[in-house]
Structure 1
Amino acid sequence: MQRTFRLWWKTAVILSAFTVIAACSSGEEENGDSNTSDETEDSSDNEGSEGEGAEGLSGDFEIQYFVGGYGDEWWKEVIGDFQEEHPDLNIIEHAGPNINEEMRTRWVSDDPPDVVYIDGAGSSETQMVEDNQLMNLTDWAEDIELEDGSALMDSFIVEPNTYDGELYSLPLVFDTWGTWYDKAWFEENDWEVPTDFDHFMEVMGTIQEEEGIEPFVTTGQYPYYFLRGVLNPAFGSAGGDELLADLVAGEEGAWTSDETLNVMKKVEEMASAGLIDSGYAALNHTQSQMNFLLHENAFIPVGFWLPNEMENDTPEDFQYGFTPSPFQDEGEPYVVVPDLRPLAIAENAENPEAAKAFVEFVFNREYAQLFSEYTGAIMNISDVDLTENPNVPEYLQTANEMINDPDQVEIHSLPYPMSADLEEPISDALVALMSGDITAEEFTERAEEAAADYRE
């Protein structure tokens, strides 16, 4: 179908949202593992599959949610509260780090769960829209109100993605990718936090020489970590929202443009200098993050979920430091490309009344407060005052400070998530480039071919 997707940003609202985190705030896709049962049930003896309206919901109600770096404590509390309000519902949870793959057959056979949180490896909102798997929420969402009577559609930090002007999901989580380092280790060794790409190369060279390590690591099993955590901000810096939109849409010539090639030459330079972990291609996200925590590497691109995901493995003296990925040229500000994680209702939901009631139930500021406490990230709801919340972590204070300073950070946006049909072949080419098997020019040619296939 024609992909004329649009996402409108409210920059001032974004900045004000980070401001209220001042005391303090994942992800591909993809955000990591967590110990949880893959499928649990909160049972009721009622049978049937159809809800009976918001005041008398009954029957089976199925929820699918990925459990990664954000954990599942928030989900358990919210679902438990919803169960108390609707005791005649038989709520069936499908959850876990591999849930997207485990539920794939259900989606393909048109027997999906009622509600899905779109996050984690193997999930793609754009792909699900293209495959007609999600309910059109355009008219219904206009009537959703928060607990204070304000319209939900006017209360997002970042507005929902729209596809040909239609709405198929509501953005639940606001996150952003960046590059992490151990602040305590850096201070101990007098290493500087990189301010631009040339400085990044210089700092990594120093660390390589002094520590005898390959300073940069990422996951080769999930190349979109590097694509989203490093390349998207770099593309935003090189060509703004227009270039990002053209790349995501696979527009002709976008992947072989001078701006794109210049970014990919930087990746080639890192690979040629031996700064990328030589074993990265075989690493999954948790292995790469563990190596980072053990100082086998010094830098890793991940979202805000990293500290929460690795909480049980973080050394006692490790101090998380976060900076927007430093791929911009000297004199240019850092770039942040926020990442949204949406909630959607299946087009073929068996219990659409319960699904709509649950989605309305989730979006309120009380649960937004709880989300920040449980995950170290934020829900995509404005006017949530976290300044008095003692559980908001220090690294978010630093991120907040930077993001609120337009002299340091520019905010650029993707118009919508890249389709898996395009992201997967580009990811394959990216692994080849980062492994030193192809040149930057060869990468752009492969990516352009993938974009041409995607457009057909």
Structure 2
Amino acid sequence: MSTTPSRREVLRRIGFTALAAGPGAGLLAACATGRSAGPVASTSAAPTSAANPLGVDAARQLEVVIFSGGNGDGYATDLHEALYSKAYKTAKIKHVPTQKVGTQLRPRFISGDAPDVVNNSGPDALDLQSLVAEGHLADLTPLFDAPSLVDPAKKVRDTLVGGVYENSLIDGVPRVLQYTVAHRALWYNAKLFAKRGWQVPKTWAEFNALGEEAKKAGIALFAYPGQVGPFYQLWNLVYSAAKIGGNKVIVDIDNLADGAWKAEPVRQAVAAWAQVQRDFGDKAYFGLDHTQTQVKHLQDKVLFYPCGSWLENEMAKDRPDSFEYAIAPVPSITAVDAMPYEAIMIGVSEAFFVAAKGKNPQGGLEYLRMMLSREGARGYTEMTKNLTVVNGVVDGLDLTSAVRSAAKAQEAAGTNIITDARFEGWYKELFDHGQVQTNSVMSGRITPEQFCANMQKKADELKADSAIAKQTRSV
């Protein structure tokens, strides 16, 4: 059992004075990796010192691969890479933006041509377990134990939100840095609600009643993209199930516990959302990708959209003045939900790792340390409108409506925080299967009971496969 402070307590330390203020996903998945065929580059470190605790070779090139999704990649080129270049003026930086992390990098890891730092995010993320099995993920212990650039008197680990180190562990070793604090729930236009005099629904009955009102106005109560982004709704199903049955629902799913996907809270959550889609959804959204659906949301053609804290920044160029992002918890689905209406999912996300067999692993660790500096973290929040896992660096920032709304929702939740599901990073095959099943159940091709059975079958297959490393959690 973890003895660290509650997530609520540590998140309050992020830097808000009046207010209290994702896993990155899988890796070499669909193909067997085989042992690296190419030569492994020399990774000898330079002598360590107080000024260079990680032993960085100041002249060695650093290659950084960034997922250019909702947060873009400007924060890397203009901020983090700039910080590295300022410190190591003779080091060249090779910047690689991509929206297809797995597709682009699998061949490189297999051939022995790994980049140094990878932002492993998006729907095509690499399978972390497969990379670990092949020895590709560097041990981040030197990073967590290095002097912090926020306060050199402290180790890096002591400047971070609680849960960051725990979420970095794979087989008991820190391998992945989750960089942002994420709020995942339902997003809506606060200005539209104020204009029409609508109240944010707190119960499922109120949610359905609002759906009828919205239908009269030609607005869909809810939509999610069937192309590219079905995992948004898969998250929504899992976190809704936790609201009904408590966080044990998620812990059991992550632990591949017998019958976890067939548990009644899961069935109830899936049935509830399938009903909303059937009664108030528009199947045309199944053919749209996430950004196309999010434009419809900005046009007030959709009331609620399930997504994470990156949404506002992702749509900044398209957002009209008439739209003000606000976040709402999922309405209470049953009268006896284990968690109150105010419960909301708050976790860490946006995975970064250093390639153990890259040409410059020491530089990769130093790059992450710079990301976790005051300038690196505060600047990231300014540029992307997302909070990082570094404590106490955002005081005085002019926060956006979405961030203020998320902070208010977090304040209302108190200790009722829905934990982050980890099977996405632990078992990518299960997560990918879940996206297919989510599309099937939301489109009415299978029943909620079939969804649960199909997910349980896949989970059982993975559990029985001795070739797959198993992970466990207690909370």
TM-score (normalised: structure 1) = 0.86
User: What are the superposed Cα offsets for residues 284-316 of structure 1, whole Å, 9 maximum, x if unpaired?
Assistant: 111110111112211111111111111111122
The question of whether the paired residues in 2 share the 8 Å contact of 1:49 and 1:60 is answered with no
Alignment of 1:389 onto 2:397: yes
The question of whether the paired residues in 1 share the 8 Å contact of 2:8 and 2:415 is answered with no
For residue 356 of structure 1, the aligned residue among 346, 361, 365 is: 365
Alignment of 1:329 onto 2:334: yes
SS at match of 1:279: helix
Alignment of 1:13 onto 2:9: yes
SS at match of 2:92: strand
More deviation in 196-205 or 131-140? 131-140
Closer/same/farther in 2, CA of residues 124 and 365 from structure 1, 3 Å limit:
same
Q: Separation in 1 of the partners of 2:116 and 2:11?
A: 34
Closer/same/farther in 2, CA of residues 133 and 116 from structure 1, 3 Å limit:
farther
Deviation at 1:58, TM superposition (A): 2.0
Partner of 1:60: 61
Paired residues for 1:215-230 under 5 Å: 215-221=221-227, 222-228=229-235, 230=236
Partner of 2:114: 112
Q: Separation in 2 of the partners of 1:280 and 1:329?
A: 27
Q: Separation in 2 of the partners of 1:252 and 1:387?
A: 46
Q: Separation in 2 of the partners of 1:329 and 1:191?
A: 22
Letter in 2 for 1:14: V
Paired residues for 1:11-410 under 5 Å: 11-17=7-13, 20=16, 22=18, 53=46, 54=55, 56-76=57-77, 77-124=79-126, 126-132=128-134, 134-137=136-139, 139-147=141-149, 148=151, 149-157=153-161, 158-160=163-165, 161=167, 162-208=169-215, 210-221=216-227, 222-228=229-235, 230-273=236-279, 275-326=280-331, 328-330=333-335, 332-337=340-345, 338-384=347-393, 386-390=394-398, 392-406=399-413, 409-410=416-417
Q: Separation in 2 of the partners of 1:253 and 1:64?
A: 39
Deviation at 1:231, TM superposition (A): 1.8
Q: Separation in 1 of the partners of 2:3 and 2:244?
A: 20
Paired residues for 1:410-449 under 5 Å: 410-415=417-422, 417-418=424-425, 419-449=427-457
Q: Separation in 1 of the partners of 2:18 and 2:72?
A: 24
User: What are the superposed Cα offsets for residues 88-136 of structure 1, whole Å, 9 maximum, x if unpaired?
Assistant: 2221111133344322321333322111112112115644555435434
Closer/same/farther in 2, CA of residues 362 and 18 from structure 1, 3 Å limit:
closer
Consecutive unaligned residues of structure 2, counting only runs of 5 or more, are 27-40, 47-54, 466-475
Q: Separation in 1 of the partners of 2:219 and 2:404?
A: 30
More deviation in 93-102 or 427-436? 93-102
The question of whether the paired residues in 2 share the 8 Å contact of 1:261 and 1:440 is answered with yes
The question of whether the paired residues in 2 share the 8 Å contact of 1:328 and 1:334 is answered with no
Closer/same/farther in 2, CA of residues 227 and 122 from structure 1, 3 Å limit:
same
Q: Separation in 2 of the partners of 1:416 and 1:218?
A: 21
Q: Separation in 2 of the partners of 1:69 and 1:174?
A: 15
Deviation at 1:395, TM superposition (A): 2.5
More deviation in 130-139 or 239-248? 130-139
The question of whether the paired residues in 2 share the 8 Å contact of 1:178 and 1:301 is answered with yes
The question of whether the paired residues in 2 share the 8 Å contact of 1:335 and 1:412 is answered with no
Q: Separation in 1 of the partners of 2:234 and 2:348?
A: 12
Closer/same/farther in 2, CA of residues 432 and 6 from structure 1, 3 Å limit:
farther
Closer/same/farther in 2, CA of residues 57 and 172 from structure 1, 3 Å limit:
same
Aligned residues: 430
Closer/same/farther in 2, CA of residues 277 and 124 from structure 1, 3 Å limit:
farther
The question of whether the paired residues in 2 share the 8 Å contact of 1:50 and 1:351 is answered with yes
Percent identical residues: 21
The question of whether the paired residues in 1 share the 8 Å contact of 2:186 and 2:307 is answered with yes
Alignment RMSD: 2.8
SS at match of 1:219: coil
User: What are the superposed Cα offsets for residues 254-287 of structure 1, whole Å, 9 maximum, x if unpaired?
Assistant: 11111211111112221331x2221222211111
SS at match of 2:303: coil
Q: Separation in 2 of the partners of 1:143 and 1:124?
A: 26
Closer/same/farther in 2, CA of residues 415 and 66 from structure 1, 3 Å limit:
closer
Q: Separation in 1 of the partners of 2:415 and 2:362?
A: 46
The question of whether the paired residues in 2 share the 8 Å contact of 1:52 and 1:58 is answered with no
Q: Separation in 1 of the partners of 2:355 and 2:5?
A: 26
SS at match of 1:307: helix
Letter in 1 for 2:205: D
Q: Separation in 2 of the partners of 1:133 and 1:294?
A: 47
Closer/same/farther in 2, CA of residues 79 and 303 from structure 1, 3 Å limit:
same
Deviation at 1:75, TM superposition (A): 1.0
Q: Separation in 1 of the partners of 2:271 and 2:318?
A: 35
Q: Separation in 1 of the partners of 2:281 and 2:135?
A: 39
The question of whether the paired residues in 1 share the 8 Å contact of 2:147 and 2:155 is answered with yes
Closer/same/farther in 2, CA of residues 27 and 177 from structure 1, 3 Å limit:
farther
